[in-house]
Amino acid sequence: MPLSKRLHTCLQFTRGFQKLADIGTDHAFLPIMAVKEGYVYSALAIDNKEGPYDIAKKNVEKTNLQDKIQVIYSEGIKDIDEDVDVITINGLGGRVIKDILLDGDLKNVKRLVLQPNNEASRIRGILHEIGFYILDELVFEENKRIYDLLVLERGVKEYTDLEIEYGPINLTLKPHFFLIRVEKEIVKYEKIMPLVTTKEQQREIDAKIAELRSVL
């Protein structure tokens, strides 16, 4: 069962926990590897659609891990149990991940490993509400797409608006693909500029370009 570089990157942060819940598991590749490699003792593979649920169930049976991995047809984190201490949510939009985290009880979860396909800032914006802080942050590339990875643990930290938007660790370490993405955004806004018609829109785009340049 091949694990993409993206999922492999997420998997690394599950090491050493007891019970994983992988939300939006689809094929269940990540929980299967996490259990096989001994990163976690057991796992829940959760999906809210029939097709992915069936595929996850088949894959878990194929690997003969039914006693360690429970496949659940459910919505978000609603059906996780008290033993779950690490959650992964990968390959979904930032807004959907945010809604999943707000719409449930994180119980005894110690770590959240989140890989939004976009709008990571939506997740950073609810850290206070869910009582987690950013332990680590990565920006990496796979198949010419740039992804964020957020590793959160329980605790409270204060973040500025700029840190919520771009990520506090990204702003300090300025990783390569973070800078590439910011540069692309600047080019995108510079291309839009001649097309806007009102002064207000021009001011907004000017301000966004200035903000993007400030984080390079």
Residues of this chain that interact with ligand SAM (CB under 6 A) are 7, 23-26, 46-49, 52, 75-76, 90-92, 96, 100
Helix ranges (H only) for 125-198 are 127-130, 161-166, 168-173, 176-192
Map residue 2 onto helix, strand or coil.
coil
What minimum distance in Å lies between the beta carbon of 52 and ligand SAM?
4
Please state the closest distance from residue 77 (CB atom) to ligand SAM, in A. Answer: 8
What are the residues whose beta carbons fall under 8 Å from the beta carbon of 79, sequence distance 6 or more?
Answer: 44, 46, 72
* Nearest-approach distance from CB 27 to ligand SAM, in angstroms: 7
The Cα diameter of the chain in Å comes to 63
Nearer to ligand SAM, 58 or 157 (CB): 58
Q: Which is nearer to ligand SAM, 50 or 200 (CB)?
A: 50
Q: Which is nearer to ligand SAM, 115 or 170 (CB)?
A: 115
Extended beta strands in the chain, E state: 19-23, 42-47, 69-73, 86-92, 111-116, 132-142, 145-154
d(CA 204, CA 14): 41
**Smaller CB distance to ligand SAM: residue 139 or 209?**
139
| Minimal distance, residue 90 CB to ligand SAM, in Å | 4
Complex with ligand SAM: residue 69 or 100, whichever CB lies closer: 100
CB of 185 to ligand SAM, least distance (A): 23
